[in-house]
Amino acid sequence: VALILVYHRIAEPIVDPWGLCVSPALFAEQSACLRIIADPVPLDTIALARSDKELPDRPVAVTFDDGYAETLTNAAPILESFALPATVFVTTGYLDLKGDVWSDELASLVLLARADPETLMRRCGIESNAGFPVRGTRSGWYAWEPATELRQWLYCTLYDRLLGITSPQRSELLGEVRAWAGAPLPECDSARMLSSAECAQLASVPQIEIGAHTVSHPVLSRLDAEHQKLEVANSKRALESLLRKPVRAFAYPYGKRDHFNSESVAAVQAAGFECACANYGRPTETSTSRWALPRYQILNWPGNRFADEITQWFRE
């Protein structure tokens, strides 16, 4: 049995509704832990193993999704100092992006703006009679918990709406939210994405491998087979021409069971990948399909909690 872990950002922003961030200090604790309680291996060692005999006792692979600049600036030095292998799945359309990815920008704007959320609801034609209180901005809320105030409910509502529309429609709606929020908020730190040069630099770190994560980070299962093929194959091609080496691993955006389908798997196989990662937590066995490798999302846990989780997952 093996475990595959997924991280997104190594950073400490004020709001993090999807639990995507681990602080640099806690990531260092977690990395130190992995060296002691597990046998870190590259992803393909787990993905391609045909029997447990090919694996060490407690194999764990580390992966990162999306391609945040922090992967190079904050994660890579820690990975290097603990000699941890890692695979970084890069969304090629986000390389050299000016500003934040829409989901990060939405979180900062809606959860932190001082403007009145009811005004934004009127502007966007959104109604709620759930009677949520309007309080000051607060951090420490996760979007999978029930909303307890209007801003949180509004964030979830706008997130679902933005996820379901086309990119031009998304820009328009995000423009509305930006106009409502007013001037950029001083406390908002940007979640910058890698530049192409930084991606190449990351790829040159010996124990880091770059994988593909589509071009535009869509929910693949909502696209027809032809568009899925383009998203999958074009991200591989773009990375291979940038890095001048084969890109062998893929990760489905969002990655829950309903975010990809048999056409997505076929597109990944046709593009010539060796394996593909999903995003739901369970152990990987040698009988697990290498086209939907499960991964555990790691939260901002201190080392001892992280160690407890890893130990528990090995028992599952």
**Binding site residues, Zn ion, CB under 5 A:** 65-66, 253
Give whichever of 16 and 66 is closer to Zn ion, judged by the CB atom: 66
Cβ closer to Zn ion: 29 or 231?
A: 231
Report d(CA 182, CA 41) in Å as an integer: 47
Determine the residue with CB nearest Zn ion. 65
Q: 281 or 303, CB closer to Zn ion? A: 281
Report the half-sphere exposure of 307 (CA within 13 A, side-chain side): 12
Closest listed residue to residue 11, CA positions, set 84, 68, 65: 68
> Smallest distance, Å, CB 300 to Zn ion?
18
Alpha carbon of 69 to those of 8, 15, 105, 210: distances in Å?
A: 11, 18, 16, 14
C-beta of 65 vs 100, nearer to Zn ion: 65
Residues 6+ apart with CB under 8 A from 1: 52, 283, 284, 285, 314
Least Å from the CB of residue 216 to Zn ion: 11
- Give whichever of 29 and 66 is closer to Zn ion, judged by the CB atom: 66
Shorter beta-carbon distance to Zn ion: residue 86 or 154? 86
- Of 2 and 90, the one with the shorter C-beta distance to Zn ion is 90
Least Å from the CB of residue 231 to Zn ion: 12
**C-alpha separations of 221 from 228, 233, 261, 293 in Å:** 8, 16, 6, 17
**Residue number, 17 or 253, with CB nearest to Zn ion:** 253
Smallest separation (angstroms) from Zn ion to the CB of 213? 6
Q: Rg of the Cα trace of the chain?
A: 20
**Phi, then psi, of 249 in degrees rounded to 5:** -115, 150
Query: Across the chain, which distance is largest between two alpha carbons, in Å?
Result: 61
- For residue 27, the minimal CB distance to Zn ion (Å) is 18
154 close to 122: Cβ distance less than 8 angstroms? no
Q: What angle do CA 304, 310, 312 make, to 5 degrees?
A: 100
Residue 6 C-beta: closest distance to Zn ion, Å: 9
- Nearest approach, Cβ of residue 311 and Zn ion (Å): 27
For the bound state, the minimum distance from the C-beta of residue 203 to Zn ion, rounded and expressed in Å, comes to 18
Q: To 10 degrees, the CA torsion angle through 194, 197, 203, 206?
A: -120
> Which parts of the chain fold into alpha helices (H)?
24-37, 43-47, 70, 76-81, 102-112, 117-124, 150-163, 167-181, 196-203, 225-243, 262-271, 303-315
